[in-house]
């Protein structure tokens, strides 16, 4: 009789232990689920902000692209290219200035086939008119017949800008006879990032990892990735970032989570409407790094199976033990 009571007591203890293990696993699963859900919410919110900023940037870029084509095909510009002496530069400036104010652009100018600036909107017409800018990639691409968008730091006034260019063709001639350029100030893009990615560190980076626009001003012209000798030589030759030293930022914007100033940030990046360029956004998050769902589920399942096997084995042994005693 005492053996039977001991057996029942042990049986109850094992059942209680089993229930405790199941309860602990259930609590772990719930906590894991909450952490994963919160992390997913954070990520989706940041992705939504970046997507909206990307769309607004894309609309702005497309609007200016269309404007360069409009100028290149404008009848007055066409007539000026055919017979420059018959068209007063003042009339050309009226066309260029109208587009400048409609787009809130920084500059609008026309270059000849050699890369000389023939006419430019004020107040920068004094600084640019007559200058040769044939080393700029936007001129080199457009004189070949391609529309181009080129982010760069101005070598005349040290202003960050986006240079939109389109080839000018005579109607009877396929070969370009000039290039029209519209420049947008990057301050405009800074404001877009600030408005649509509130509470984050956001910016635009070049294919080489140079930060060209950012809500964190101290990050401008910093390199997020080590530059190769070839990349530095190309940047130097094109004067894309003028004489900026392009110092390393010390933060690699590549992983989904980034450490900066001893704090953890969630990172989201996306391509924008300039080939190779990306918009990024960093938002503070918790230090906890939840295990991926499939991995955590597997771990919990393994723990459960092992616990079940151990308890089942012990339970069977204990169940046989009192029977052996009774038979003895």
pLDDT string in tens for the chain (328-residue length): 555 555 555 556 656 666 666 666 666 665 666 555 566 667 787 888 889 889 999 999 999 999 999 999 888 888 777 666 655 677 888 889 999 999 999 889 999 899 999 888 887 766 788 889 998 999 999 999 999 999 999 877 788 999 999 999 877 667 888 999 999 998 888 888 888 777 788 999 999 999 999 988 999 999 988 888 888 888 888 888 988 889 998 888 877 788 888 788 888 899 999 999 999 998 887 655 555 555 656 666 676 677 667 666 666 655 555 545 445 5
Q: Which tokens go with 167? A: 């080839």
Say what the pLDDT of residue 140 is.
94
Say what the pLDDT of residue 325 is.
47
Residue length of the chain:
328
Could you give the angle at which helices 75-82 and 89-103 cross, rounded to 10 degrees? Answer: 140
**Bridge partners, residue 264, by sequence:** 259
Q: Which tokens go with 242? A: 């003028």
Say what the pLDDT of residue 291 is.
53
Q: Which tokens go with 110? A: 């026309």
* Cα 133 to Cα 136: distance, rounded to the nearest angstrom: 6
Q: Which tokens go with 289? A: 């790094």
For 78, 133, 166, 327, the CA distances from 172, given in Å and listed in that order, are: 11, 27, 17, 112
C-alpha 108: how far from chain center: 28
**Residue ranges with strand state E in the chain:** 107-112, 117-120, 148-153, 160-169, 176-185, 201-205, 211-214, 257-260, 263-271, 278-284
* Cα 194 to Cα 233: distance, rounded to the nearest angstrom: 32
This prediction has a pTM of 0.73
Burial (Cβ within 10 Å: 0-12, 13-18, ≥19) of residue 147: middle
* Cα 13 to Cα 315: distance, rounded to the nearest angstrom: 10
**Are 179 and 148 spatial neighbours (Cβ–Cβ below 8 Å)?**
no
């Amino acid at each position: 009789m005492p053996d039977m009571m001991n057996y029942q007591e042990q049986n109850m203890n094992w059942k209680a232990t089993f229930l405790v293990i199941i309860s602990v696993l259930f609590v772990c699963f719930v906590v894991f689920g909450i952490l994963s859900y919160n992390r997913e919410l954070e990520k989706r919110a940041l992705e939504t902000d970046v997507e909206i900023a990307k769309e607004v940037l894309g609309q702005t870029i497309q609007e200016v692209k269309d404007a360069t084509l409009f100028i290149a095909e404008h009848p007055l510009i066409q007539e000026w290219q055919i017979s420059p002496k018959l068209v007063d530069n003042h009339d050309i400036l009226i066309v260029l200035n109208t587009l400048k104010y409609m787009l809130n652009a920084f500059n609008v100018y026309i270059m000849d086939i050699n890369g000389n600036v023939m006419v430019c909107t004020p107040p920068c017409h004094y600084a640019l008119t007559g200058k040769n800018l044939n080393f700029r990639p936007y001129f080199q691409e457009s004189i070949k017949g391609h529309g181009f968008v080129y982010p760069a730091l101005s070598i005349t006034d040290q202003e960050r800008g986006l240079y939109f260019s389109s080839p000018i063709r005579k109607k009877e001639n396929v070969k370009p006879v000039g290039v029209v350029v519209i420049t947008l100030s990057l301050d405009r893009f800074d404001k877009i990032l600030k408005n649509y990615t509130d509470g984050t560190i956001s910016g635009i980076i070049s294919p080489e990892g140079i930060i060209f626009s950012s809500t964190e001003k101290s990050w401008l012209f910093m390199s997020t990735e080590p530059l190769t000798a070839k990349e530095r030589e190309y940047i130097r030759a094109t004067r894309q970032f003028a004489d900026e030293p392009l110092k390393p930022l010390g933060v690699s914007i590549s992983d989904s989570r980034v450490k900066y100033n001893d704090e953890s940030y969630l990172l989201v990046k996306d391509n924008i409407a300039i080939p190779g360029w990306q918009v990024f956004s960093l938002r503070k998050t918790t230090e906890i790094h939840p295990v991926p769902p499939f991995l955590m589920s597997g771990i919990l399942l393994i723990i459960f199976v092992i616990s079940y096997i151990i308890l089942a084995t012990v339970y069977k042994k204990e169940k046989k033990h009192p029977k052996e005693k009774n038979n003895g």
